[in-house]
Structure 1
Amino acid sequence: MTHLRAQDYRRMPWKNGGGETVEIIVSPDGAGLADFDWRISMATVATDGPFSIFPDTDRTLSILEGAGMALSIEGHDPILLTRDSVPLPFPADAVTSATLADGPITDLNVMTRRGKISHQVERLATETAGEIRLEAETALILVDRGEIEITVGADRSRLAARDCLVVQGATEEAVALSGQGTIYIIRLHKI
């Protein structure tokens, strides 16, 4: 289990040069935008515009801050994505553009190489204490709001907002959660 702290994340320009992303983690370590197997990042979107195209990649987007944005994804009607929306999966190689609802937003972006890795993203509000099962080869828990204590087996970590916990070999592992807040559970599976 690895605790990633928000202040240690790497900042880098968007692939299309239109903004900045905060890379939480990428696999394999040190992979670039063209050769990652999976990548978890956050970005502030301050203006309307196109998304970067990532060939052979699947993406899931969630809104962490702001009023939301309408996504126009090639072949589909526009979809309004807000903090209350279910995380939205779509192909990262589809032509996509965003129109902000009311000012800047911060999003959570999960991308996996199609045919190699699949993923699911779930948002969960925690009230006091509870237990979840990760059921994934690799799982990540990102704290969106609040402070959450997470226990996996004998290991315990206290995560602040935007910290992330990486659990390898998490197929059957029970995870105890304690604290109030909102988390995102990201499950990654080799295909």
Structure 2
Amino acid sequence: MRILRAGDHRRMPWKNGKGETVEIAVFPEDASVDTFDWRISMAPVVSDGPFSIFPGIDRTLSILTGDGMMLSVEGMASTILGRKSVPFSFAGDAKTEVVLQAGPITDLNVMTRRGRFSHRVTRAEQGGEIGFSAEATLVILVVTGKAQVSQVELGPLDAVILDNPADSRDLRLETQEPCFVIEIFASASH
């Protein structure tokens, strides 16, 4: 089990240079924005405009703070995402535009390299037993408040990574606040 404290997350410019992202976790650990196999980040979005293009990447967005955004992804119907919306998945190589609904937001962005990894993002509203695949690398991100994962105290925007199935036996999430449970799956050919 690895604990990733909010104060240790790495800040970097967006791939398109139009903002800043906060990298929570990346694999391999020394990967760049162009070479990662999977990446979890969050970013403030302060104005309408295009998203960065990530060829060969599948991504899922969720809203952490703010009143939401309308997301227009090439080849898909436009959708409005808010804090309580189901995480929204789309191809990172599709042209994507955002229109903010009522001011800035912060989004959670999970990305995996197509053909090597895939992912599933679930919003957990309260604690208890966590259902997940034993074959997955599991990442839990606390949004606000505090949470406890198997006796480890986590604060706002802290995360925990469990990449060893033995770490995940009898895993319990204790929280009264929303958290995100992210499962990362290696493809059979990887």
TM-score by length of 1: 0.93
Whether 1:184 aligns to 2:180 is yes
Structure 1 stretches of at least 4 aligned residues deviating more than 6 Å after TM superposition: none
**2: CA distance between counterparts of 1:173 and 1:87?**
26
Query: Is contact 1:134–1:175 with CA below 8 Å preserved after alignment?
Result: no
1:145 is matched with 144
Give 5+ residue unaligned stretches, structure 2: none
State the identity %.
Answer: 50
The counterpart of 1:167, out of the listed 154, 162, 183, is 162
Residue 145 of structure 1: SS of its match in structure 2?
coil
Whether 1:103 aligns to 2:117 is no
**2: CA distance between counterparts of 1:43 and 1:189?**
24
The counterpart of 2:132, out of the listed 123, 127, 134, is 134
Query: Is contact 1:72–1:97 with CA below 8 Å preserved after alignment?
Result: yes
After superposition, the CA RMSD in angstroms is 1.2
Residue 52 of structure 1: SS of its match in structure 2?
coil
Whether 1:68 aligns to 2:63 is no
The one-letter code matched in structure 2 to 1:167 is L
1:52 is matched with 52
Residue 7 of structure 1: SS of its match in structure 2?
helix
TM-score by length of 2: 0.94
Shift of 1:34: 1.0
**2: CA distance between counterparts of 1:51 and 1:36?**
18
Query: Is contact 1:71–1:99 with CA below 8 Å preserved after alignment?
Result: yes
Instruction: Give the number of aligned pairs.
Output: 185
